[in-house]
Structure 1
Amino acid sequence: MTNENLIELFVEKMNEKGKSNNTIKNYVADVKNYVKWLGVQQGDTPADAPKKTLKKYIQHLESSGLASSTVNRRIQTLRTFYQTLIELGIREDDPTEGIKSKKIAKQNDTKWLERHQVKAIFEAIDKQKQGEDKRFRERAIISVLVNCGLRVSELCDLKMDDLDFKGGFMNVIGKGGKFRRVPFNPATQRAVKQWLQFRSVNTPYVFHTERSEHMTPRAVQHIVKKLADSLNFTFTVHQLRHTALKNIADTTGKIEIVATVAGHESVNTSKRYIEPSLKEIGEAMKQTEYDF
């Protein structure tokens, strides 16, 4: 039975169960993404892929810079898909059994960095024992993430043609191929220009490594982890993006601006940056605390 047949049977079953057209459309997109990865990476099909292969796929999703909520949705889709294959007698086992969803930070748990911490990150880059090319590349990467609020996958996909130094914007292709323009301000421009002096590979992408013309999210995460290990606080790639968006929220107080820069489809996703964190609430309440 072909993958196309499996998907057709899955769709029929979802229609029988009264799932909405939009839900089925999302299911199909998620399953096709999985099937495509299986064919390229493993040579398996959904009908015979073992649990270890599914775990590799989830690791692939996580390293692609997708949000935990997106990873969880795709895991849930595959749970539904495999339960359907079992109902149809196509599989006997469920490879999604025992696989847990990823933890999602609650609104007030979203962490961003303080100004002194961002400064410490740049100082840590300058202290690293490495060549100037890597140092300026790391400074440019951190600058783009913490000042422009890009997702790590968006940073990796950034091309030279996307940079408009004169206009002060960069073109970004986000989730679902959605296009947006993000301000590209002087400090970040300087950091990127310094890196471009050392850019030695003939590639359309802004950031590359010694081995690849296209830097991967995993490579960026490795850089961030190395820096975090040298500091007295931990931070992640996502926290750099959160920091940029939080700064915009604090400066403007306008959720629409945050959503536009972030590339959020809904302003509701951006609320976490407008609403005060528990730390901020605590600091405010200290000023009015009674102590007789």
Structure 2
Amino acid sequence: MKIQEAVARYLEYLSVEEKSENTVKGYAMCFKRFMQWLDASWGNISNVEDISQTVVRDFKSFLESRTDRRTGKKLAPNTINQNLNALKSLFVFFKGKGINFRSDPISAIKLIPIASQNDYRWLTRQEVNQILHAIEMLKRTGEKRKAMYKAVIIILVNCGLRVEELSELGLTDVVLDSGLIVIRSGKGEKYRHVPFNVKTRDILQRWLGHHGGKSPFLFYSQRSQQLSVRAIQHMIEKLSEQTKIKFTVHQLRHTYGKQVANERGIEAAATLLGHSNIQTTRRYTQPSLQELREAVEGIEFE
């Protein structure tokens, strides 16, 4: 099977399996990098079954010697491992489909050992308050848009939704009287309930007062009945610029996960976040790199 065909079939498989858009894009970039390198270095290889252990080792050496154009530094071990893991998943998939590799490329994939450190960042309570205050101070922005911005932020940081889940929320998925959000389209098609508190209810109620029933979705725009994932991300990017606080959609979710894990433990956090593997949630109980930096600030010797 031609390599290009194999890659296209595997990416289609990932989409059907409802992997996130970012995951599929990440794999696609890894495969593109590999195919470009393969064409330049091993021009005589066109079929996936001809990729040997030697080719895989050569590709790993190439990655280890490559310099990131943005930083001028060598590729981070995590980046190298992502590329190798993408290849491994491709080989495993087609081996399961009956492809007979002339040489076992899977056994040649050796990841770079990386010490386990938590590089996630969560926001402080003061930073979240600054973001909400910045929304109130927005110029040339009507009350309706401000109400929507605050509702988006508060659901992300007080309910920990994924951006895709937020985009898919319907009007009937928010039950104000019970203080619950119903997630019908969670990762892996998992259905769950997420409770919210009085302050969140007040902000949601304010937005619903502006909603007008113009869409079956909780959030919509002038152009569409559903606020897209990209539109939400763009909103967050603009607020990050205006507040001078570097934050993303994911960091708002991480902030929620950290707070729940601290207060009620990782089991509660895993359930509320919709994690299928509790090891994913464990990062919220580990100190972040920022916290480690703060820990050593006062102990350094001159």
- TM category (shorter chain) comes to 0.5 to 0.7
Structure 2: 5+ residue runs without aligned partners?
39-44, 50-62, 69-74, 83-115
Q: How far has the Cα of 1:260 moved from its partner? A: 0.9
Match of 2:210 among 181, 198, 218: 198
Q: How far has the Cα of 1:211 moved from its partner? A: 1.0
Name the residue aligned to 2:119. 109
Change (3 A) 1:78 1:170: farther
Name the residue aligned to 1:31. 12
Name the residue aligned to 2:287. 276
Q: How far has the Cα of 1:290 moved from its partner? A: 9.9
Structure 1: 5+ residue runs without aligned partners?
12-26, 36-60, 90-97
**1:212 and 2:224 correspond:** yes
**1:188 and 2:200 correspond:** yes
Match of 2:241 among 225, 229, 237: 229
Deviations along 1:50-73, one digit per CA (max 9) or x if unpaired, are: xxxxxxxxxxx98x5x4xx56434
Contact 1:10–1:81 (CA under 8 A) maintained in structure 2: no
What's the secondary structure of 2:211's corresponding residue?
Answer: coil
**1:87 and 2:41 correspond:** no
Deviations along 1:226-273, one digit per CA (max 9) or x if unpaired, are: 111112321111111111111111212x11111111111101111110
Change (3 A) 1:116 1:109: same
Match of 2:26 among 68, 72, 76: 72
Contact 2:14–2:24 (CA under 8 A) maintained in structure 1: no
**1:262 and 2:277 correspond:** no
Change (3 A) 1:127 1:277: same
What's the secondary structure of 1:171's corresponding residue?
Answer: strand
Change (3 A) 1:222 1:283: closer
2 CA distance for matches of 1:33 and 1:109? 27
Number of residue equivalences = 231
2 CA distance for matches of 1:70 and 1:259? 24
Name the residue aligned to 1:121. 131
2 CA distance for matches of 1:74 and 1:261? 31
Q: How far has the Cα of 1:278 moved from its partner? A: 3.5
**1:137 and 2:118 correspond:** no
* Structure 1 stretch displaced more, 277-286 or 240-249: 277-286
2 CA distance for matches of 1:283 and 1:165? 40
Change (3 A) 1:138 1:251: same
Query: Map of 1:171-186 to 2, 5 A cutoff?
Result: 171-172=182-183, 173-186=185-198
* Structure 1 stretch displaced more, 271-280 or 121-130: 271-280
Identity of aligned residues (%): 35
Instruction: Write the letter of the residue equivalent to 1:204.
Output: P
Q: How far has the Cα of 1:277 moved from its partner? A: 2.0
Match of 1:148 among 143, 159, 165: 159
1 CA distance for matches of 2:292 and 2:144? 43
Change (3 A) 1:176 1:290: closer
2 CA distance for matches of 1:264 and 1:188? 23
Q: How far has the Cα of 1:32 moved from its partner? A: 4.2
Change (3 A) 1:87 1:233: same
Q: How far has the Cα of 1:121 moved from its partner? A: 0.1
Change (3 A) 1:81 1:170: farther
Q: How far has the Cα of 1:88 moved from its partner? A: 7.3
**CA RMSD after TM alignment:** 3.9
